[in-house]
Amino acid sequence: MTALEGVDIDIRAGEFVSIIGPSGCGKSTLFNMLAGLIKPSAGKIYLDGGEPDSLLGKIGYMPQKDLLMPWRTVLDNVTLGLEMDGTRRRKARAQAMEELPRFGLKGFEQRWPRSLSGGMRQRAALLRTFLAGREVMLLDEPFGALDALTRQAMQEWLLELWATDRKTVVFITHDVEEAVYLSDRVHVMSGRPGRVELSLDITLPRPRSYEMTVSPEFNALKQQLLEPLHEASRKQMEEVR
């Protein structure tokens, strides 16, 4: 099966970029390639102007499922990336403890993942990705499973975090409003095989605020994205019928 075809995108350092497209169009496949987990059968991926032999371990990745390990406490979950990099356990823990408040997890370090709310689980998974300390972070639908209010709070929080740390973030979502609200640029993908149909600069000023989401500018951007997205989703549905 050809999952992707004609994906040509540039991501600049420090940018917040979103990728949106119908289910099954290859978004997670693209992330798996960027993270070095699978090799593209054609095409190239450059990082910092070079073409690394392997991308494995060079890029932070929060996969679509949060994948917290149920047998590890929150603290031992979030230090996993550091430990895999060879950081001493004690040092990893100290680093994590320092970041817990910023991720709204202070006091929860000894809890089990199953006792956390959905939003907290997502923040724990984000903290794990964040602690791994890579300049580029891939976030695959991190807020997909959250209710609208929690999601909104998490978006604001993520923007604050991003404004402070200025990592490069590549973000997958199904939600046009979320994509516009968060991003510097949004890439719309077509149905399988996934292609980039449209790349749209989000010219809204920063810092963003929720009032903006009802402004005419915001709606105009949303409209521009919705059209190719609906077309892609419609085609995708036809194909699987």
Interface ranges with ligand ATP (CB under 6 A): 1, 3, 21, 23-29, 64, 192
Least Cβ distance, residue 19 to ligand ATP (angstroms): 9
Q: What's the burial of 82, exposed, middle or buried (CB within 10 Å: 0-12/13-18/19+)?
A: buried
**Residue 213 in contact with Mg ion, rule: CB under 5 A:** no
CA distance 119 to 146: 7
Closest approach, Cβ 193 to ligand ATP, in A, equals: 8
Residue 5 Cβ vs ligand ATP, minimum distance, rounded to whole Å: 11
C-beta neighbour count of 122 within 10 angstroms: 25
| Dist CA 79 CA 98 (whole Å) | 12
Among the listed residues 73, 14, 32, 17, the one whose alpha carbon sits nearest the alpha carbon of residue 4: 32
**Alpha carbon of 29 to those of 26, 172, 205: distances in Å?**
5, 11, 32
Q: Which is nearer to ligand ATP, 132 or 232 (CB)?
A: 232
Nearest residue to 66 via CA among 146, 135, 4, 134: 146
Task: Count interface residues toward Mg ion (CB under 5 A).
Answer: 3
The listed partner (Mg ion, ligand ATP, none) that binds 14, CB under 5 to 8 Å by sort, is none
Q: Measured from the CB atom, is 93 or 187 closer to ligand ATP?
A: 187
From the list Mg ion, ligand ATP, none, pick the one residue 26 interacts with, judged by a Cβ distance below 5 to 8 Å according to partner type. Answer: ligand ATP
User: CB of residue 50 vs ligand ATP: minimum separation in angstroms?
Assistant: 26
C-beta of 2 vs 209, nearer to ligand ATP? 2
24 contributes a contact to Mg ion by CB under 5 A? no
The 8-class DSSP code of residue 47 comes to B
- Sequence-ordered strand ranges (E) for the chain: 16-20, 60-62, 136-140, 168-173, 185-189, 196-201
Site string for Mg ion, 52-91 (x = CB under 5 A): ------------x---------------------------
Residue 26: CB minimum distance to ligand ATP, A: 4
Residues in the chain: 241
Nearer to Mg ion, 109 or 141 (CB): 141
The residues binding Mg ion (CB under 5 A) are 27-28, 64
